A and B are shown apart, each in its own frame.
Chain A
């Protein structure tokens, strides 16, 4: 299985901060990388697919980049509703695997 490693495990930030979360794959996955946001008690919500494509309806402050093994999710200016856990997912090979999650908390 391809291992997905996110960093940091958690972070504390303030409203208005720029936040960057990284995801590293144990082998090259081209651009087969998606990002999800999950709030407590809710299902994951798709933010970014194919490494850098913004899902319809997702605010433009979210962006994704990367290819191969290293990927980044950036929130340009953190808003209160962005405090959540973020997961990356590779769909390059079966089984698709998720990162362990990055929890974004209020500072």
Chain B
């Protein structure tokens, strides 16, 4: 069974850079999967941040694109998130997840997030 575990500082100063890592166990990071980051501000809904393929290809949420970098380290079986120039609005629980695809009868590949990490709270404060 695939397991994901986020790690990183729980407190980041305003204007600093948030850095998190997601360790993958129970499976290969190089299988035909994308890996993604989602965040959730306290008491609020879910926001997709971006995703990465094992080859290093990425897609980002345009609202965050100028500040986000997602990378993968296949040797360490992990992928990482960096978010620069953070403000209090970036305070959230950050989740990593695996993206899977369902091939439906119409010929579409439909993405969904099947395995999630437990999440880690990052607070932006001085």
**Are A and B subunits of one complex?**
yes
Contact B48–A46 (Cβ < 8 Å): no
Give the A-B contact count at a CB cut-off of 8 A: 64
| A20 is an interface residue with CB less than 8 A from chain B | no
How near does chain A come to B4, taking the closest CB pair, in angstroms? 9
Question: Which single residue of chain A is at the shortest CB-CB distance from B64?
Answer: A95
Please measure, in the bound complex, the distance between the C-alpha atom of A50 and the C-alpha atom of B112, giving whole angstroms.
8
- Is B26 located at the chain interface by the 8 A CB criterion? no
**Considering only CB atoms, which chain A residue lies closest to B108 in the complex?**
A30
Interface-forming stretch among A11-19, A70-78, A97-105?
A97-105
A27 and B35 CA atoms in complex are apart in Å by 26
Within 8 A of A (CB), among B57-109: 59, 61-63, 95, 100, 102, 104, 106, 108
A49 at the interface (CB under 8 A from B): yes
User: Which B residues contact A (CB, under 8 angstroms)?
Assistant: 38, 45-48, 59, 61-63, 95, 100, 102, 104, 106, 108, 110-114, 116-119
In the complex, the chain B residue whose C-beta lies closest to that of A48 is: B112
Interface residues of A in 44-66 (CB under 8 A from B): 44-46, 49-50, 53, 55
Nearest B residue to A85 by beta-carbon distance? B45
Tell me the bound Cα distance from A13 to B107 in angstroms. 39
Is the Cβ of B45 less than 8 Å from the Cβ of A43? no
A49-B110, A50-B104 are known; give 16 further A-B pairs, CB within 8 A: A31-B104, A31-B110, A32-B108, A43-B95, A43-B116, A43-B118, A44-B38, A44-B116, A45-B116, A53-B102, A55-B114, A94-B59, A94-B61, A94-B62, A97-B48, A98-B45
Shortest Cβ distance from residue B94 to the other chain A in the assembled complex, whole angstroms: 11
Residues of A within 8 A of B113 (CB): 34, 36, 44, 46, 89
**In the bound complex, what is the Cα–Cα distance between A49 and B100 (angstroms)?**
10
Q: A30-B106, A49-B102, A50-B104 are in contact. Are A87 and B46 (CB under 8 A)?
A: yes
Give the residue of B61, B106, B108, B112 whose beta carbon is less than 8 angstroms from that of A34.
B112
30 example contacts (A-B, Cβ-Cβ < 8 A) are as follows: A31-B108, A32-B108, A32-B111, A34-B112, A36-B113, A42-B119, A43-B95, A43-B118, A46-B113, A49-B100, A49-B110, A49-B114, A50-B104, A50-B110, A53-B102, A87-B45, A87-B46, A89-B112, A89-B113, A91-B110, A91-B111, A91-B112, A94-B62, A95-B63, A97-B48, A98-B46, A98-B48, A99-B45, A100-B45, A101-B45
